[in-house]
Structure 1
Amino acid sequence: MDRSAEFRRWKAQCLSKVDLSRKGSVDEDVVELVQLLNGREQFFTTSSCAGRIILLDRDINGSEVQKQNCCWLLVTHKPCVKDDVIVALKKANGEAILKFEPLVLHVQCRQLQDAQILAVRSTHGLEVPLTQKGKLMVTEEYINFLVKIANQKMEENKKRIERFYNCLQHALEKETISMISYPKEKIKEINNSSYTHKKKRNPEKACGKYITEENNKELENDDHDDPGISATIFPEDY
């Protein structure tokens, strides 16, 4: 079986699986983006989050935040209010941390050239500790201030998703036109030339930087070899 056929088989297998996320479905603000990617033969999404505000309670003995070992006190994909955070904090026993996390998409790509279209990063986040050993360490006024910032970031994140969708759609349409206009031999020559140039300029950026540790572990546990390339997308300047 050639690699293109193997990629199609793997894509169909992945998209037919049950959604095991906490929410159990694709977030509303990212549905169109996920559908756009999955509608193209060279991509498929393995997980997604449109962005969220969360309040985690971690063990005070933990050296770093690990979500799988934390108690989720609050999670919302919409703007929240101070009172919701205050109520949730009453259940904290360790170190409660208020976080805003922007859009995250894990996308499997058929070829390196496809992954290069998507590879964008962002530092558009927020992470602030609020309690220690269950004791509130900040004022309600400060919590209200943080919630406003988190909500502003949520709104900006939504705008970035829209810009990213429009730019991606334009890039894919342009790519389709190029595929029609150029013979296959010419496209292959251009792609190989582009890949060689980028690899010499910055080999880390051209390849390994966009393969996430999480997806690498998933691939190691899969019964089949990886027929594609994994890219994590964090919209920044689109």
Structure 2
Amino acid sequence: MKFTENFERAKKEALLSLEIALRRGEVDEDVIPLLEKINSKPNYFTTSSCSGRISVMEMPNFGDKVNAKWLGKWHREVSLEEVLKAIEKHKEGQLWLLVRSPILHVGARTLEDAVRLVNLAVSSGFKYSNIKSISDRKLIVEIRSTERLDVFLGENGKVLVSQEYIKKVVEIANSQLRRFKEKLKRLEENIANSL
């Protein structure tokens, strides 16, 4: 397939894009060592990444990301006070607290390399990892975990749950975040030792 022929050019372009994003501070700091490990391997390169996050979001209807507005977004554990401060900004539409697990997109040189990375990611705890796309131009692996939380909190400027409930949701969100951050460390170690 042609994607093996285009691999070197694609890797060079991806690494340049990453370098620019790093200079601009657009890359989650805690995922940088993992990106460096992957990109140091001759048969792989990263194309995009998120280390996972907790967020408070306002949207007209659930799932409407185009018209959604971030009220608070953290790639680390968050305090109840930070979440309450973000909730205070809510004016219209639906109010949600969301947890999203890490996601990385990685280019692979060959199908065998892609399968090897998927298997390594799954064994590291990233159970939703898969080969995202195969075309004549590229071969992309998606590394994803299972952690996710979608909690409806209010609507049209009104919070519909108690502060005690929000406190419990924040505890659960932080617990999920700790879990997937540990998986990121395990993946980094496994990539360093196995690829």
Give the superposition deviation at 1:105.
0.5
Equivalent residue for 1:168? 191
Residue identity opposite 2:113 in structure 1: D
Counterpart residue type for residue 35 of structure 2: V
Q: Which has the higher strand share?
A: 2
AA in 2 matched with 1:14: A
> Is the helix fraction higher in 1 or 2?
1
- Partner AA of 1:8 in structure 2: E
| Aligned positions of 1:1-238 closer than 5 A | 4-17=4-17, 18-19=20-21, 24-59=25-60, 62=61, 64-92=62-90, 93-119=92-118, 120=122, 121=128, 122-172=145-195
Q: 1:69-96 deviations in whole A, cap 9, x for unaligned? A: 2000000111111121112112211111
* TM-score between the two structures when normalised by the length of structure 1: 0.65
Structure 2: where are the runs of 5+ without partners?
A: 123-127, 129-144
Give distance in 1, aligned partners of 2:3 and 2:93. 49
- Cα 1:118–1:69, aligned 2, differ >3 Å: closer, same or farther? farther
Return 162-171 or 145-154, whichever deviates more: 162-171
Using the size of structure 2 for normalisation, the TM-score is: 0.78
Q: Structure 1: which 4+ aligned runs deviate by more than 3 Å?
A: 2-5
Change (3 A) 1:163 1:69: same
- 1:8–1:41: 8 Å Cα contact kept in structure 2? no
Measured on the aligned residues, the alpha-carbon RMSD in Å equals 1.9
Change (3 A) 1:107 1:137: same
Larger CA Rg, structure 1 vs 2 = 1
- C-alpha contact 2:4 2:110 (8 A) present in aligned 1: no
What is the aligned residue count?
166
* Structure 1 stretches lacking a partner, 5+ long: 173-238
**Residues 121-145 of structure 1 deviation map (CA, whole Å, 9 limit, x = unaligned):** 2321211010122211100000011
